Amino acid sequence: MKSQRTALVITSLNEYELGNALRFAEFRKGISLGEAALFWAEFESDRASGRLQIQICNLADVVHEAKRLSATHTLTGGHRGFDILHVASALIVKAHRFLTFDENQKKLAEAEGLVVPI
């Protein structure tokens, strides 16, 4: 994050999933007690400094786009619902790049014209 020249734009859906994933990881003992709050504080610091920007998007628009993506790609690509929602959100906010660690989500994003670095 510190080497980024421009702000990383994420949606409120990304923000929600990160917070939940951190709390769930702590619940499952994947991270130590209190670490979820520490990681969240780092996220908030990046947001306050301008390294992260939250792009608000209309949930109804995202779900409508997700339905299209599912109908177009899931039978042949086996995409999970939340992965589709993230790609749909990126398309709705007219993102050009899409960051993911998930290979199948990467395929979906690229199929829809998003550039996935790495």
In terms of domains, do 107 and 69 share one? yes
In terms of domains, do 66 and 104 share one? yes
In terms of domains, do 71 and 49 share one? no
In terms of domains, do 17 and 41 share one? yes
Determine the structural domain holding residue 63 and report its residue range.
59-111
Prediction pTM value: 0.88
Whole-number Å distance between alpha carbons of 1 and 31: 21
- Tell me the pLDDT of the chain (118 aa) as tens digits: 566 688 999 999 999 999 999 999 999 999 999 999 999 999 999 999 999 999 999 999 999 999 999 999 999 999 999 999 999 999 999 999 999 999 999 999 999 999 999 7
Burial 96-106, CB ≥16 within 10 A → b, else e: eebbbeeeebb
The predicted pLDDT at position 118 comes to: 77
Question: Domain boundary residue among 16, 39, 55?
Answer: 55
| Residue 118: inside a domain | no
> In 3D, which of 107, 115, 116 has the Cα closest to residue 76?
107
In terms of domains, do 69 and 101 share one? yes
In terms of domains, do 67 and 89 share one? yes
Number of folded domains in the chain?
Answer: 2
In terms of domains, do 101 and 79 share one? yes
Residue 10's region, left for phi above 0, alpha for psi from -120 to 50, else beta, is: beta
In terms of domains, do 63 and 102 share one? yes
DSSP state of 29: T
**Nearest 5°: phi and psi at 112?**
-95, 10
In terms of domains, do 86 and 71 share one? yes
List, as one string, the DSSP characters of 44-66: HHHHHHTSEEEEP--HHHHHHHH
